[in-house]
Structure 1
Amino acid sequence: MPKVIHDTKFSELKEQLNQLLSHYGPEKMRLVMETLPVQSHSTVEFTTVTRDVSFLEAVDAFFESCKFIGFSQTTQTTYRSEMKLFQQYVKEHLGDNPQFKDVTNGEFLSDYIHLQSDINTKAKKSSFLRTFIKNTYKKFYGHQDLGDLKTILRVRWSNDEAPKAFTKVQIAEILRIAQSRNHDSLYTAIIWTFLGSGIRINELCHLKIGDIDPETQTIKVIPKGAENTKKARKINQLALMMVTDFIEKKYSQAREVMSDTDYQQLYIFSCTGGNKPITSRAIQQFMKSIIREARSIKDEDKDRLGPHSFRHSFAIHGLEAGIDIYTLSKLLGHESIDSTMKYLRMSQPGYN
């Protein structure tokens, strides 16, 4: 927890310093202080000056922060919903507007997270709280060190709860079932895209024809948390062939009657002729029905598998094929290598 220095007769100066710290950070302030004449005899250690911050002040600052504004609309909606639930809990236990330091008490946060029995919900709430608290620390205290809260806001998965990947046998059966249902080859192409690129479900839904580049063997996706940008990701040759064949079959007539600009803007995976993207819910429902039918998947594993399991499969099978962890991290579009390290554990014998 950040140490709070209470007001003294120098409170006005401290307030001004605190504002400078919030804007520039302690390291830059220290460097500036070292250049001043008062430093002529010895180097003075610069101490971060902080103050009491209310919970509602922290909430407002979070929603006005560059961090929050930079999130995609989906992420913003999710975080607003999570904040509303957290505010209700805070109000019930601490009142309308307690001090931020009381809200971020380790025991208080732990009790809130463990109200949930579902491990995925716990992970979701922990992720939100980490982002919110780190943003507040940076804004008002000049750092982002969670200290002991790191342990509290880290969800540890047991082998029975952890994300699970498909085996190669299961993938073969899933493809066979998808092909037998013959939904205009739509879901077969979707599965191959997942398997060949490791992209997320929302990234796949918003792929357009113009995002495919056969020459560089890449697809351009809108990455998680960056709604207004597109980044190139690699796709393997077999998956690329399946996707381009699907586009040719489904949109050959559209290409003849539309301008090239309009044609390139069509969504690849669509139930409306390319005008609107397929929904993630539609993919999830279809995949759940296939998973229930698949005999190679144990009954106790069926609730743990879904479209995102293809991303896990891409990562684990990539490691087994000899891809190093740093290359894999780039292929998956992870911002930090730490996010990729979990796949090393998942690939260990006996994990499942």
Structure 2
Amino acid sequence: MNNNWTKFIKNFQSYLKIERGLSQNSIDNYTLDIEKLSLYLTENQIDKSPITITEEIVQEFIYDVSKKVNPRSQARIISGLKSFFNYLIFEDYRVDNPLELIEAPRLGRKLPDTLNIEDIDNLINAIDLSSNEGERNRAMLETLYGCGLRVSELVSVKISDLFFDEGFIKVTGKGNKQRFVPISPLTQKYIEIYKKEVRPHLPIQKEFGDTLFLNRRGKQLTRAMIFTIIKDLAKKINLNKTISPHTFRHSFATHLLENGADLRSIQLMLGHESITTTEIYMHVDRKHLNQVMQTFHPRNK
């Protein structure tokens, strides 16, 4: 990769980490988008730095990308590059953003499949509790669904984050933002069983002494491992839905909404920065709006 680009990418990574508090995962995604552009320039022997690249060249790159990736990935690349060039403007390296006039493809908000209560019960009942991993997996899935966590939040829950006497767990979300999420007595019970009966028998690695959910080697679980556990259970019960750990989070929000919870409370529990993200769940079940109208509008009294 062109040295000119490497230097700017490094500085941008520091900015994302220190100024914006982004996770390594998000920083890697941004970096990948910029590297794609840099690689395009090298392959086409275009000698331009982040400071001298023009709108026309970026436009040709986006056109080239659009033939290779789906609209969702294309929109992400455009958004990532816009952020990079905005950073260069912010640091006084450039006065304009070459992506200013480039439109990202319009995307419908893609909703994951939702599981109903019966699906969730069937998945959890399919766990083989005769193995140590079974107790752990039950506790993990109950926590995913019971607290609406992201998979990255689940794998990094610490024992010191459990405030069971108060009925909460402390969750570290995107950008290291912390929030307290209520946890039901049932979920607490399954965590306690795993914590007391299974976890002490693992060869716990020193640096993971406080990490709640561990693999059999006593280390923190990977996100991929959680995906695999869920996919295997879905196969076991012949569930014909596309599901992932996020499906449990989505179902948590949908079921709360269907049972009359208000969006602001759901937003706080999910740790959404903006309520517009939470509003996606409103598209799931319109019945709820009808009930709100019947219950709360004075003309219906």
- Does the alignment reach a TM-score above 0.5? yes
Within a 5 Å distance, the mapping from 1:47-86 to structure 2 comes to: 59=9, 61-65=11-15, 70-86=21-37
Query: What is the rounded CA distance, in whole Å, between the counterparts of 2:68 and 2:29 in structure 1?
Result: 19
Amino acid at match of 2:252: F
Aligned to 1:128: 80
Aligned to 2:187: 239
Specify which of 263, 267, 273 is matched with residue 335 of structure 1.
Answer: 273
Query: Does the CA-based 8 Å contact 1:195-1:313 persist in structure 2?
Result: yes
Specify which of 157, 172, 175 is matched with residue 121 of structure 2.
Answer: 172
Whether 1:200 aligns to 2:150 is: yes
Specify which of 257, 260, 277 is matched with residue 322 of structure 1.
Answer: 260
Specify which of 206, 230, 233 is matched with residue 287 of structure 1.
Answer: 230
Paired residues, number: 276
Specify which of 268, 276, 280 is matched with residue 212 of structure 2.
Answer: 268
Query: Does the CA-based 8 Å contact 1:219-1:235 persist in structure 2?
Result: yes
Query: Does the CA-based 8 Å contact 1:68-1:76 persist in structure 2?
Result: no
Query: What is the rounded CA distance, in whole Å, between the counterparts of 2:231 and 2:24 in structure 1?
Result: 26
Rate the CA distance shift 1:123–1:343 in 2: closer, same or farther, 3 A.
farther
Query: What is the rounded CA distance, in whole Å, between the counterparts of 1:320 and 1:285 in structure 2?
Result: 29
Query: What is the rounded CA distance, in whole Å, between the counterparts of 1:94 and 1:319 in structure 2?
Result: 54
Amino acid at match of 1:164: D
Ranges in structure 1 where 5+ consecutive residues have no aligned partner? 1-53
Specify which of 288, 310, 313 is matched with residue 248 of structure 2.
Answer: 310
Query: Residues 235-258 of structure 1, C-alpha deviation per residue, up to 9 Å, x if partnerless?
Result: 23322232223212224679xxx9
1:67, distance to aligned residue in structure 2 (A): 5.5
Query: Does the CA-based 8 Å contact 2:74-2:104 persist in structure 1?
Result: no
* Corresponding residue SS for 2:253: helix
1:200, distance to aligned residue in structure 2 (A): 0.9
Q: Percent identity?
A: 22
Rate the CA distance shift 1:74–1:101 in 2: closer, same or farther, 3 A.
same
1:342, distance to aligned residue in structure 2 (A): 1.6
Aligned to 1:32: none
Tell me which moved more, 196-205 or 90-99. Answer: 90-99
1:114, distance to aligned residue in structure 2 (A): 5.4
* Corresponding residue SS for 2:166: coil
Query: What is the rounded CA distance, in whole Å, between the counterparts of 2:262 and 2:111 in structure 1?
Result: 22
Query: Residues 133-171 of structure 1, C-alpha deviation per residue, up to 9 Å, x if partnerless?
Result: 443444447899x8655xx3365137xx64222222221
Query: What is the rounded CA distance, in whole Å, between the counterparts of 1:205 and 1:103 in structure 2?
Result: 44
Query: Does the CA-based 8 Å contact 1:206-1:277 persist in structure 2?
Result: yes
Aligned to 1:185: 135
Query: What is the rounded CA distance, in whole Å, between the counterparts of 1:172 and 1:81 in structure 2?
Result: 39
Query: Does the CA-based 8 Å contact 1:103-1:109 persist in structure 2?
Result: no
Query: Residues 319-343 of structure 1, C-alpha deviation per residue, up to 9 Å, x if partnerless?
Result: 1122222221111111222222222
Ranges in structure 2 where 5+ consecutive residues have no aligned partner? 288-301
Rate the CA distance shift 1:252–1:321 in 2: closer, same or farther, 3 A.
same
Tell me which moved more, 69-78 or 285-294. Answer: 69-78
Whether 1:95 aligns to 2:33 is: no
Query: Does the CA-based 8 Å contact 2:208-2:220 persist in structure 1?
Result: no
Aligned to 1:345: 283
Query: Does the CA-based 8 Å contact 1:199-1:311 persist in structure 2?
Result: yes
Aligned to 1:5: none
Alpha-carbon RMSD: 3.6
Within a 5 Å distance, the mapping from 1:240-259 to structure 2 comes to: 240-251=188-199
Amino acid at match of 2:173: P
Query: Does the CA-based 8 Å contact 1:170-1:294 persist in structure 2?
Result: no
Amino acid at match of 1:176: N
Aligned to 1:221: 171
Query: Residues 71-119 of structure 1, C-alpha deviation per residue, up to 9 Å, x if partnerless?
Result: 2233333332332223213444582316344178567536525521384
Amino acid at match of 2:155: C
Query: Residues 3-43 of structure 1, C-alpha deviation per residue, up to 9 Å, x if partnerless?
Result: xxxxxxxxxxxxxxxxxxxxxxxxxxxxxxxxxxxxxxxxx
1:60, distance to aligned residue in structure 2 (A): 5.7
Aligned to 1:6: none
Rate the CA distance shift 1:180–1:248 in 2: closer, same or farther, 3 A.
closer
Query: Does the CA-based 8 Å contact 2:170-2:179 persist in structure 1?
Result: yes
Query: What is the rounded CA distance, in whole Å, between the counterparts of 2:130 and 2:74 in structure 1?
Result: 36
After TM superposition, the score normalised by the length of structure 1 is: 0.65
Aligned to 1:116: 69
Query: What is the rounded CA distance, in whole Å, between the counterparts of 1:314 and 1:126 in structure 2?
Result: 31
